[in-house]
Amino acid sequence: MLTIQQIKEDPRRIVERLAVKGYDGTVTIQQVIDLDSRRRQAQLTNDNKAAELNRLAASIGKLMKEGNKEEAEKAKAAVAALKEEQKAIADELSGIEAEIRNILLSIPNVPCDMVPEGKTAEDNVVESTGGPMPDLPADALPHWDLAKKYNLIDFDLGVKITGAGFPVYIGKGARLQRALIQFFLDEAGKSGYLEIQPPYVVNEASGYGTGQLPDKEGQMYYINEDNLYLIPTAEVPVTNLYRDVILNASQLPIKNCAYSACFRREAGSYGKDVRGLNRLHQFDKVEIVRIERPEDSYAALEEMKAHVQGLLDKLGLPWHILRLCGGDMSFTSAITFDFEVFSAAQKRWLEVSSVSNFETYQANRLKCRYRGDDKKTRLCHTLNGSALALPRIMAALLENNQTPEGIIVPEVLRRYTGFDIID
Cα Rg of the chain, angstroms: 28
CATH (domain of 396):
3.30.930.10
Which residue, among 351, 356, 383, 385, has the nearest Cα to 368 in the 3D structure?
383
Q: Residues 17, 90: one domain?
A: yes
Q: Residues 194, 130: one domain?
A: yes
Across-strand partners of 125? 323
Q: How confident is the model at residue 367 (pLDDT cuts 50, 70, 90)?
A: very high
Residue 111 lies in a domain: no
Domain count, the chain: 2
Instruction: Look at residues 50, 71, 106 and tell me which one is the last residue of a structural domain.
Output: 106
Residue 116 lies in a domain: no
pLDDT tens, 13-55?
999 999 999 999 999 999 999 999 999 999 999 999 888 888 8
Q: Is pLDDT above 60 for 192?
A: yes
Q: What is the 3-state secondary structure (H, E, C) of 175-207?
A: HHHHHHHHHHHHHHHHCCCEEECCCCEEEHHHH
Residue 30 lies in a domain: yes
Residues 6+ apart with CB under 8 A from 208: 105, 214, 365
* Domain of 247, in residue numbers: 121-422
Percent of the chain with pLDDT over 90: 87
Which residue, among 311, 335, 331, has the nearest Cα to 323 in the 3D structure?
335
Q: Residues 13, 141: one domain?
A: no
Across-strand partners of 282? 263
Residues 399/393, Cβ–Cβ less than 8 Å: no
pLDDT tens, 236-288?
999 999 999 999 999 999 999 999 999 999 755 555 567 999 999 999 999 99
Q: Whole-angstrom Cα distance, residue 262 to residue 216? A: 14
Q: Residues 169, 276: one domain?
A: yes
Q: Whole-angstrom Cα distance, residue 288 to residue 258? A: 7
Residue 114 lies in a domain: no
- Specify the pTM: 0.93
- Strands, sheet with 125-130, edge to edge from the N-terminal-most edge strand: 125-130, 319-323, 335-343, 348-357, 381-389, 282-292, 254-263, 194-196
Give the per-residue pLDDT at 268. Answer: 53
Total length of the chain: 423
